[in-house]
Amino acid sequence: MTTEQIDEALSGAVERGEIPGVVAMAVGEDGIFYEGAFGRRSLAGDAAMTMDTVFRIASMTKAITSVAALQLVERGKLTLDDPVPAIDPALAKPQVLVLFDRSARPLLRPARRAITLRHLLTHTAGFSYEAWNRNMLQFNGISKLPPMSSGKRAALRVPLMFDPGDRWEYGINIDWVGRLVEEVSGEPLDVYMREHIFAPLGMKDTGFRPSEAQRARQATIHQRNGEGLVPQPFEELITPEFWAGGGGLYSTAADYIAFLQMLLHGGTHNGATILTPATVKMLGENQIGKLHAGIMKTTTPARSRDVNFFPDIPVGWGLATLINEMRGPHGRSMNSLTWAGLFNTYYWLDPTRRIAAVILMQILPFVDKEAAGVYGAYEEAVCKAVDAG
């Protein structure tokens, strides 16, 4: 198998100044068949991207948190279809935002049905994100709740935008899943993940709070604006009231590939069984019926562009990922699993070709045109390399 075209797709984007730097890896049944690092960690410095560069993977955290919850389902501590444990009024007695009155006050009503873990895992519970929902943006603007970035539990206590089960909408659902994992397991989420996922899989550089050594290897986020790509200062490290299961992890390409290899191999990797094959199979099957997933209209263009990874292709959602129900535009097989992180980190798992891949960048806005173009070119080159043998 030749991987020269993959190198060219990534290095060319760096040389043209489309992105500051990128790290990518791909694996098949026999292990890693591609790894590459190009460009710089920051345009303000000389440090090169390396295979051990640490990235903020944002919503790529969600699949890991979902797996943690499914472990507890397997152990009989959670169920998919019963009402979730009443750990907070926002889950026990959810309220739906109906509208805002003439004084811009939110009018709420009780939800028509209870929230289940399946609702949360599939983003059909009714929770949303202000970045893609104007009502949520308005509510957050007038409420006295702390922002999600504060790490305060009160930040999660927002109303639903619709009744559980009525539609798909991306939101803070998996942050609530993380809280359920904490309450049911009796362990903070970082401890639970370290003991039950990261250590068994050998994911030594993945966690919610980077060490000093990991911080020294961290890539800088760049904001694209009228002046081009502008390096941003590192985020402040806080001690939160809850660890953000929806988007708080730092990781490396090698660590995340180990997680994907576990899914690729039916729940087992590195001599450790994380999930049973039956649960992994269910995780990768559409769980939302004819509801359509994956389309998100931005309310904050500097943070995210409109999101629609598969125009004109039916897509569903499993218990952790988006699923394209037809062949993807860059070559991936139908029924592949995928999602991404806010700072333009992406992964996919192709069950037909038996491959999985990650590509990591640190750029805002999400689905930035240039970064998304690099992702597409990378995927196409990987698929061609695999098909060529």
Would you name the residues annotated as active-site residues?
59, 62, 170
Give which of 250, 269, 270, 149 is closest to 205, Cα–Cα.
Answer: 250
Give the DSSP H/E element, type plus range, for residue 91. helix 89-92
Give the amino acid at 100: F
CB 125 within 8 A of CB 164: yes
Residue 27's DSSP bridge partners are 32, 356
Parallel/antiparallel/unpaired status of strands 315-317 and 272-273: unpaired
Helix (H) or strand (E) holding 50: none
| Other beta carbons less than 10 A from residue 292's beta carbon | 12
- Cβ density class 254-267: b for 16+ within 10 Å, e for less: bbbbbbbbbbbbbb
CB-side neighbour CA atoms (13 Å) of 16: 11
CA-CA distance, 152 to 388, in Å (whole number)? 50
